[in-house]
Amino acid sequence: MPLLPAVTGRRAASAAVTAALLVPLAACSSSGDDAAKETAGSTGSSSPVGLTVLAAASLTDVFRTAGAAYEASHPGTKLTFSFAGSQELVAQVSQGSPADVLVTADTKSMDKVRAETGPPAVIAKNRLVIATGEGNPFKVDALKDLADPKLKVVLAAPEVPAGKYSKKILDAQKIAVKPVSQEPNVRSVLSKVELGEADAGLVYRTDAESAKDKVDAVEIPDDQNAVAQYPAAALKGSKHAEAAEAFVAWLSSPEGQRILQDAGFQKP
């Protein structure tokens, strides 16, 4: 009987040592679980990756279609689009607005933020048309008709890619047009014509196609036209660099190109 207290003491000491050893093991196990969760999250296996895409206004309709297709084939990625004139998008990037991908309607706009992007790739091309009210009530047949002072013409502002292209082709033909307004992006030009606030305006062919039940499109001969190029690039400040680069690459893939060309865009 006198031995029992000693045995009890040894058992208590052993239990204390065992408990002390288990504490760091539990901590290591917890740390390992957290690391595994973090790794899973970074690869997109446990939580979706959200990408913000800054895109030229003329891509509004086609990118909504492309975005749905991309998300369907890449269930770990969620796309959010912000559409505006290329000059506005460039300003946002320059000011450090959080985003992952930039797509402009001309290469010059992209060049202005070249230090902020990865290598750009031209994903599509476009051309201008004259948009008129449905049925072309003022019988606009050519660029020269836009010089008629009785015609209310709307153009994109000179700093907007569509405005630059418009000025280029009008100057080349020595056609002087006095627009009733100069809009911040090409979709605003289209809207003015759709609403009857303008008789005609220069927009991209794809814009006119998107509103073909409300406007008519008068083709401009190739030798009097300009080719718009759309470069896309991942932004260096993206928190999801691999996912951003993957989306840019997909835009040049057969599936991405099919969607763009079905909407009327030309091959890069």
Contact (CB, 8 A) for 110 and 120? yes
Q: Do domains 49-125+229-262 and 126-227 have the same CATH topology?
A: yes
Predicted confidence (pLDDT) per residue in 26-75, tens digit: 333 333 333 333 333 333 445 789 999 999 999 999 999 999 999 999 99
Average pLDDT over residues 169-174: 98
Give me the pLDDT at residue 46, please. Answer: 54
Q: What is the pLDDT, as a whole number, of residue 106? A: 97
Rounded-to-integer distance, Cα 225 and Cα 147, Å: 17
For the four alpha carbons of 164, 106, 183 and 155, in that order, the dihedral sign comes to positive
The answer to whether 53 and 103 have CB atoms below 8 angstroms apart is: yes
pLDDT of 206? 97
What per-residue confidence (pLDDT) applies to 48? 85
The pLDDT of residue 172 is 97
- 33-42, 85-94, 259-268: range with lowest mean pLDDT: 33-42
Topology of the domain covering 49-125+229-262:
D-Maltodextrin-Binding Protein; domain 2 (3.40.190)
74-97: average pLDDT: 96
Its pTM stands at: 0.81
Q: Where are the domains of the chain?
A: 49-125+229-262, 126-227
Fold of 126-227: D-Maltodextrin-Binding Protein; domain 2 (3.40.190)
Structure tokens at 121: 């790739």
The pLDDT value recorded for residue 24 is 39
